[in-house]
Amino acid sequence: MKQQIKVRSAFGHFSRNLPRHHPCFLKVFSCHSCLSRKIFFPFPIISSSIKQARAIHSTKNFCLNLLNFNSCVSSYHQRNMSSNRKVSSDMNAFQDQLNRASKIVALTGAGISAESGIPTFRGADGLWRKYKCEELATPEAFAKDPGLVWQFYEYRRQLVSSKEPNLAHKSLSVLEQNFLRNSPQRQVIVVTQNVDELHRRAEMKRVLELHGSLFKTRCTQCKAVKTNYNNPIVPALDKIELDELDRHIDPKDLPRCEKCTGLLRPHVVWFGEQLDPFVLKQAEGLMSVTDFLLVIGTSSVVYPAASLVPQAATRGVTVSEFNIEQTAASEYSKFFFKGPCAQTLPKALQIGETMISHWG
């Protein structure tokens, strides 16, 4: 669906038809020309000065139509983004609003699993500090060296299998259970970027996985998707060490399709790949109906997941963030609870450890 956008720029006013969730679309930066914070097309305005913009500029997924378009979008001002907007960490005020909400969405990222012992992508313990994501989580990397990419994924499958959901995962499940039992008109749904399945293992029922799962494979030939919890997935990938992902593996010993013998790949979304359109549509649908958005443990830099927060925020939805540090989503947040989310989230949701142990 295309949407007409009114654009204000140093060169005058324009109207432009763009797909509503074009990847170049919802990005908030300080305007290079007028210095106010607006939603921008990310180039070329900001490429010279903002670190994040440089990262964006260097990706190949930008819109060629917009390359010479020095502009900012005026029709998408955040309603609650005035310069004197205060971010609160008032637990009572948060709980008051939570208690009045009926369609709660929790958008989660790697930080929610950090206290389970699973490294994040970009943090100090970031998994990709040693291995560049462009080297390992791209279709090009897999085409070049499927054995290397499979070692990386098998290492992570084995790591995740040895870890347990933490109090943050569990408190969301307890909230869901409480609603099902006591207030069935209220719902909580997790939209996760994580591929570790820890929300499901915490017995959360409503989970939307944006980036797939480490425990699913997809055939590169017949495209069949299969759940696979084998450990190791094939004998050639047994006992992988992260320090030495250089085992030579004959391609015939890599995971193969039972039906057509085609090479299997992890059923995850790599850079440059589209998210499952059905899944993305569901996530966007949730953003258009939620009345309370929790943003937990994500840096909010990876698109299109990162555009979900502004989609909800521009409707005036209360955004509450749980993170150990400020992120790209923080400027949308009404509430910010700083700290490890396995501590802050159960407290905010008023889910005590006894409730968690009784339930699970």
- Does position 340 bind ligand BJW by CB under 6 A? yes
Among 256, 262, 284, 330, binds Zn ion (CB under 5 A): 262
Is 211 part of the annotated catalytic residue set? yes
Contact partner, 262, from ligand BJW, Zn ion, none, Cβ < 5-8 Å per class: Zn ion
- Does position 271 bind ligand BJW by CB under 6 A? yes
Whether residue 23 is preceded by a cis peptide bond, meaning omega within 30 degrees of 0, is: no
Could you tell me the strand order of the sheet in which 264-268 lies?
225-227, 212-219, 264-268
Q: How far apart are CA 306 and CA 355, in angstroms?
A: 32
Q: 127-166 mask for ligand BJW (x: CB under 6 A)?
A: ------x---x-----------------------------
Q: 297-326 mask for ligand BJW (x: CB under 6 A)?
A: xxx-xxxx-----------------xxxx-
Q: How far apart are CA 148 and CA 269, in angstroms?
A: 17
- Does position 222 bind Zn ion by CB under 5 A? yes
Residue 261's CB is within 10 A of a number of other CB atoms, namely: 12
Residue 190's CB is within 10 A of a number of other CB atoms, namely: 26
Q: Among 211, 248, 267, 358, which one carries the catalytic annotation?
A: 211
Question: How many residues line the site for ligand BJW (CB under 6 A)?
Answer: 42
Contact partner, 259, from Zn ion, ligand BJW, none, Cβ < 5-8 Å per class: Zn ion
- Does position 219 bind Zn ion by CB under 5 A? yes
Name the one range near Zn ion by CB under 5 A: 43-51, 74-82, 88-96, 211-219: 211-219
- Does position 61 bind ligand BJW by CB under 6 A? yes
Indicate the residue among 113 and 187 with the shorter CB distance to ligand BJW: 113
Q: 19-48 mask for ligand BJW (x: CB under 6 A)?
A: ----xx-----------------x------
Q: 171-200 mask for ligand BJW (x: CB under 6 A)?
A: ----------------------x-x-----
Among 106, 114, 257, 345, binds Zn ion (CB under 5 A): 257
Q: How far apart are CA 27 and CA 46, in angstroms?
A: 11
> Which residues of the shown chain bind Zn ion in the complex (CB under 5 A)?
219, 221-222, 257, 259-260, 262
Active site residues: 211
> Which residues of the shown chain bind ligand BJW in the complex (CB under 6 A)?
23-24, 42, 55-56, 59, 61, 109-111, 114-115, 120-123, 126, 133, 137, 193, 195, 211, 268-269, 271-274, 297-299, 301-304, 322-325, 327, 340-341
